[in-house]
Homo-oligomer: A and B are copies of this chain.
Amino acid sequence: MAETAAKGSTVWAVEEYAVHEEPYYLPIGDEVELFQTAYEQRIPVLFKGPTGCGKTRFVEYMAYKLGRTVTRVSRGDGEAADHRMPLVTVACHEDLTASDLVGRYLLDTDGTRWVDGPLTRAVKVGAICYLDEVVEARKDTTVLIHPLTDYRRLLPIEKLGQVVEAADGFLLVISYNPGYQSALKDLKHSTRQRFIAIEFNYPPRDQEAAIIAHEAGCSSQAATDLSKLGEKVRNLKEHGLGEGVSTRLLIYAGRLMAKGIPPRRACQVAVTWALTDDLEVQRSIEEVVTSIFE
């Protein structure tokens, strides 16, 4: 257990966070070219796709890639040495309000002090702002999204009585999972029609095997078997499984196997039990596991 030697935590300011190393990402189609064109035109982008299919990693990959070609916003010192594209990610949830995104007043020894929220920081430094699962957020966030996604590119900060025009590098990217949507939580058309949309899905079997092998450090045979398992489990989706298995869970199984946990047990805890509490569905998945890892 020497590799888990003690190490303290690291703290960044939100707008200084950028992707340091090239994330491992295998392009499936023309999504890289599409996103790059949209970014050049500053057309806001919406990602659609199921859990764990790689949306978050794609936006990190693109931020890394664009950071290498775009001259970054100079802040005071005029220097452009730092070519990283700042990426501000917000995982949305049903209590997320506009204030959480824009900022708020804090009491200080010198009275109140305004603190910019993550969206305002992204607007000011010209970052990509990624609102993950945006339909979960409260509806008052709409007030922020609309003027930022048409030709005005404005962020109203009501509590300051200000209107901020976005820095040139800024782009709003949002995501959601169509499988979840209910009538109550849907993107209004007036919001939706402000984005071009890229649909994502799980990678094809061979590409997924390559990803698993790379990320889990397991044998190539195990990776191939696990990608086969992924494909088959996803076909169970019509049989009571809420959502297919993510690549991430297959990688977990690979990592457990690489450390000596027997394949069937590894698949049980990382796939079967992780996916569902339904005994019937668990049994169906177990059968698939057994057919592959005899």
Nearest Cβ in chain B — how far from A81, in angstroms? 12
Q: Which chain A residues have a beta carbon within 8 Å of chain B's beta carbons?
A: 1, 3-15, 17, 30, 33-34, 37-38, 40-43, 46, 48, 51-52, 56, 69-74, 80, 89-98, 100, 104-112, 115-118, 121, 123-124, 126, 132-133, 136, 138-143, 146-147, 150, 156, 158-159, 161-170, 177-178, 180-181, 188-190, 192-199, 242-243, 245-246, 248-249, 252, 255-256, 259-261, 265, 269-270, 273-275, 277
Give CA–CA (A97, B158) in the complex, Å. 12
Complex interface: chain B residues within 8 A of A97 (CB): 95
Beta-carbon contact of A4 and B142 below 8 Å: no
8 CB contacts below 8 A, A to B, read A6-B80, A7-B167, A48-B273, A52-B193, A92-B143, A106-B112, A110-B111, A197-B269
Beta-carbon contact of B138 and A95 below 8 Å: yes
Nearest Cβ in chain B — how far from A159, in angstroms? 7
User: CB-nearest residue of chain B relative to A253?
Assistant: B196
